[in-house]
Structure formats: structure tokens, C-alpha cells
């Protein structure tokens, strides 16, 4: 015989069986269940007397700055819990460790410094090689550069992945075969969106932005978490403001870095950026661009394409720019970035249509 969750024996007999409380699961809460001092599985029906203690996951918090207090739910004899689970919201743009390292003329970035960083890999010669970087903005959306996926003659700007691309999060070693830590995840790509008016070098790399949609959610942690996006365009950035970028691009020895590197570089507005170039390269500084870098040699280099440049607002890091192009005839560390704010409506539409809405 089987005791159903409604407390009835199947097939029916006169006596009722013990009613159990429904399973309790949450993407935003860590849930611990105990019965008579012993840990039990909350994802299975619970016996009356079971205590359930919820707590926001380390990657989540209560909305509107509320303070989380410890509460216990009890499974009653009638098969009902004494209360409901509450909802925590994922937070973004938080670093867990302060880095000391630089991307060019530097060494290794530290775990947790840029938990939104993504490595993008393409199948070449029967192996996956890193081609670009990207930035996690939700549990299944990544922002990168369009030129990372562009091929002459492409007509469909919604590219369906056929096994050509993979992405990696929680990754610090360049080699895709190396699992750096317990948080490293290698995921297949679902769709890649490129804007309709992107036309590569023919369009001077204007609108050099892409959004990658993953078919499954990434598991978030202190080492893997999204950057914030200024959806309402609340913030402005002044010349000289320091932003952060990470990547596996060329080092000062002109070889791709095997380790993730990090740089802090100052912002240069579109107008001032365009004035910097007088050799014809200024055509690539299109109206949706800005520059960042320094005369000291600290900045991005070949191989950092698609990586996100973030700037802090109220203690959180916001995705502001995407590594786009660099003057190949210059030895300076200045580079041109796609300004995310110019494409916020386009990114927002994809976010609303394709992101997982059950984060909580």
C-alpha cells in the first residue's frame, strides 16, 4: 500500500496514514530541515514535527535593504507548514576579494575579484580555444562583442549554436580543460544575438555588442555572480574615473596570458577619445564608443575582446563598456570600448524575453 500526500492509504482502508508536508525548494534560499535533531531532505515530503530553517543564499539578499532574521517553519500534523518561504533577490556587482594585479605589465587576478567574468571558447581543430571574454548579467545571459562571432556574409543576427561555442565561468586558467575550482562551470551556448546594423569593419565596428543566451542556468556563488546593469541610465561617468577590466589577452611579452589578469584604467569620453587619434583610426571611435587606458602601459590588449569594463556606483560594479578595438599601429595601452548605455534598450528586450524569471 502507498500513503498518499493527502493522508490516504492507496488502495483505501479505514485508517488514515500520516500526512506529510509538501517538499520545500528555492533557488534563492538555503534550506535546512531537521527532525528530532537529525538533518532530513527538504526536497522530499516532510514528516510532521520537521523544522525548516531558511536563509538567503550567499549570492542573494532581502529586497529593499531588509534585515534577515532567523525563523523556523514547522510541519504540522495536518500536513501544512506553519508559514511560507520568503523571497530573496540576487545581488550583482559585488567583489569578494580586493585584487592587487594588473592585466598588462602584471600578474594574476584573484578569485572573486570579477565573479561576472566569462571566457568564450570556439571549436577549432577539434578543441575549444578561447576567443573572447564576456560579462555575466544574469544566471543565463552574457554580454560580449559582436566581432567575436562575426563572419562575412552572416545574414541571421540570431545565431543558433551548433556546438561551435562554449563558455566558462569561475575560470582563472585559460585552458578549458583545467577545472580551476569547485565553482568552475563549462556551459554550451544556446543563442547569440548581434544587432541588425552591425557590419564589422565595413561599419567601422559600430554597435559592437552581442548577447549570449545559455539554455541552462549557471549556479551562482561568491566566485560566480553577475555584474550590475544600469537599466534606467541613472549614472554618469566622468573623465578619469577608474574602472576595472579582466581578461586573458596578450601580456607585455606579447603572448596570450594563461592566467586571468586584471587592470584598473581611467575613463575617456567619446569626444576626447576621438581627438586622441589623427592617423585615420578615429573612424573606429563611433558615437557608441568611449576609450579607457593609460600612458603608463596599463590596459587591455589583443585577446581581451568582449571583456567587460565595470565602474563602481554605490559600492557595486556596473557593466559600462565592452572591449571592442585597439589601434594596431600604436603601442599605447588605450583601447576603444562599446558603451553599453547606447544599447540598453536592445539588451533589455533580450533580458526580458530570455532570462530566467525564477531567480527567486
Q: Does a structural domain hold residue 359?
A: no
**Mean pLDDT of the region 23-46:** 93
pLDDT of residue 300: 59
Q: Are residues 135 and 54 in the same domain?
A: no
| Average pLDDT score over the chain | 83
Q: Does a structural domain hold residue 101?
A: no
Q: What percent of the chain has pLDDT over 70?
A: 81
User: Which residue did the predictor score with more confidence, 279 or 50?
Assistant: 50
Q: Does a structural domain hold residue 107?
A: no
Q: Are residues 163 and 227 in the same domain?
A: yes
Q: Are residues 203 and 84 in the same domain?
A: no
* Number of residues that make up the chain: 360
Q: Is 70 exceeded by the pLDDT of residue 14?
A: no
**Mean pLDDT of the region 254-283:** 83
Q: Is 60 exceeded by the pLDDT of residue 301?
A: no
Q: Does a structural domain hold residue 283?
A: yes
Q: Are residues 143 and 242 in the same domain?
A: yes
The CA distance from 104 to 124, in Å, is 26
Q: In what order do the strands lie in the sheet with 73-74?
A: 38-40, 29-35, 51-56, 73-74
**Mean pLDDT of the region 136-160:** 87
The pTM of the full predicted model, rounded to 2 decimals, is: 0.77
Q: Is 70 exceeded by the pLDDT of residue 182?
A: yes
The CA distance from 264 to 267, in Å, is 10
Q: Cβ(28)–Cβ(83) under 8 Å?
A: no
What are the tens digits of pLDDT across the range 190-237?
999 999 999 988 899 999 999 999 999 998 887 899 999 999 899 999
Q: Is 50 exceeded by the pLDDT of residue 252?
A: no
pLDDT of residue 238: 95
The CA distance from 298 to 283, in Å, is 24
pLDDT of residue 50: 97
Assign 73 a pLDDT band (cuts: 50, 70, 90): very high
Q: Does a structural domain hold residue 52?
A: yes
Assign 267 a pLDDT band (cuts: 50, 70, 90): very high
Q: Does a structural domain hold residue 132?
A: yes
Q: Which residues contact 300 (CB under 8 A, 6 or more apart)?
A: 103, 104, 245, 247, 249, 263, 265, 293, 307, 323, 326, 333, 335
User: Which residue did the predictor score with more confidence, 125 or 332?
Assistant: 125
Q: Which residues contact 107 (CB under 8 A, 6 or more apart)?
A: 101, 259, 261
Q: Cβ(82)–Cβ(96) under 8 Å?
A: no
Q: In 10 A of CB 106, how many CB atoms?
A: 18
Q: Are residues 291 and 149 in the same domain?
A: yes
Q: Is 70 exceeded by the pLDDT of residue 330?
A: yes
> Backbone phi, then psi, for 348, in 5-degree steps?
-65, -40
Q: Does a structural domain hold residue 338?
A: yes
Q: Are residues 342 and 284 in the same domain?
A: yes
Q: Are residues 78 and 176 in the same domain?
A: no
Q: Are residues 201 and 311 in the same domain?
A: yes
Q: Are residues 78 and 122 in the same domain?
A: no
- CATH number of the domain residue 231 falls in: 2.40.10.10
Domain boundary among 90, 105, 133: 90
Q: Does a structural domain hold residue 110?
A: no
User: Which residue did the predictor score with more confidence, 100 or 299?
Assistant: 299
**Mean pLDDT of the region 121-146:** 92
The CA distance from 16 to 83, in Å, is 24
Q: How many domains does the chain have?
A: 2
Q: Are residues 277 and 331 in the same domain?
A: yes
Q: Which three cell numbers stand for residue 146?
A: 559582436
- Residue-range definition of the domain harbouring residue 55: 1-90
Q: Are residues 78 and 144 in the same domain?
A: no
Q: Are residues 127 and 233 in the same domain?
A: yes
Amino acid at each position: 500500500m502507498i500513503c498518499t500526500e493527502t493522508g490516504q492509504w492507496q488502495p483505501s482502508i479505514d485508517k488514515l496514514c500520516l500526512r506529510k508536508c509538501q517538499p520545500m525548494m528555492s533557488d534563492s534560499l538555503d534550506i535546512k530541515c531537521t527532525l528530532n535533531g537529525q538533518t532530513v531532505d527538504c526536497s522530499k515530503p516532510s514528516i510532521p514535527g520537521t523544522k525548516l530553517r531558511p536563509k538567503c543564499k550567499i549570492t542573494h539578499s532581502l529586497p529593499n535593504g531588509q534585515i534577515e532574521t532567523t525563523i523556523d517553519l514547522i510541519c504540522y500534523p495536518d500536513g501544512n507548514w506553519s508559514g511560507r518561504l520568503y523571497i530573496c533577490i540576487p545581488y550583482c556587482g559585488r567583489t569578494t576579494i580586493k585584487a592587487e594585479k594588473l592585466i598588462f605589465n602584471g600578474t594574476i587576478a584573484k578569485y572573486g575579484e570579477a565573479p561576472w567574468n566569462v571566457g568564450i571558447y570556439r571549436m577549432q581543430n577539434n578543441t575549444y580555444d578561447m576567443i573572447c571574454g564576456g560579462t555575466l548579467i544574469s544566471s543565463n545571459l552574457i554580454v560580449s562583442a559582436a566581432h567575436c562571432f562575426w563572419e562575412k556574409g552572416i545574414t541571421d543576427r540570431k545565431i543558433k549554436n551548433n556546438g561551435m561555442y562554449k563558455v566558462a565561468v569561475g575560470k582563472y586558467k585559460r585552458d578549458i580543460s583545467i577545472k580551476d575550482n569547485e565553482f568552475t562551470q563549462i556551459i554550451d551556448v544556446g543563442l547569440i544575438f548581434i544587432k541588425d546594423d552591425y557590419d564589422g569593419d565595413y561599419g567601422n565596428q559600430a554597435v559592437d555588442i552581442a548577447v549570449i543566451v545559455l539554455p541552462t542556468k549557471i549556479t551562482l556563488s561568491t566566485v560566480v555572480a553577475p555584474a550590475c546593469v544600469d537599466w534606467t541610465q541613472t549614472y554618469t561617468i566622468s573623465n578619469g574615473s577608474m574602472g576595472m577590466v579582466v581578461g586573458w589577452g596578450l601580456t607585455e611579452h606579447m603572448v596570450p596570458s594563461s592566467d586571468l589578469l586584471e587592470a584598473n584604467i581611467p575613463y575617456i569620453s567619446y569626444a576626447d577619445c576621438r581627438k586622441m587619434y589623427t592617423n585615420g583610426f578615429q573612424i573606429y571611435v563611433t558615437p557608441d564608443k568611449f576609450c579607457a587606458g593609460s600612458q603608463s602601459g596599463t590596459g587591455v590588449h589583443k585577446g581581451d575582446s568582449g571583456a567587460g569594463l565595470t565602474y563602481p556606483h554605490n559600492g557595486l560594479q556596473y557593466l559600462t563598456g565592452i572591449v571592442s578595438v585597439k589601434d594596431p599601429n600604436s603601442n599605447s595601452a588605450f583601447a576603444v570600448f562599446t558603451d553599453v548605455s547606447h544599447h540598453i534598450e536592445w539588451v533589455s528586450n533580450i533580458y526580458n524575453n530570455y532570462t530566467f524569471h525564477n531567480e527567486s
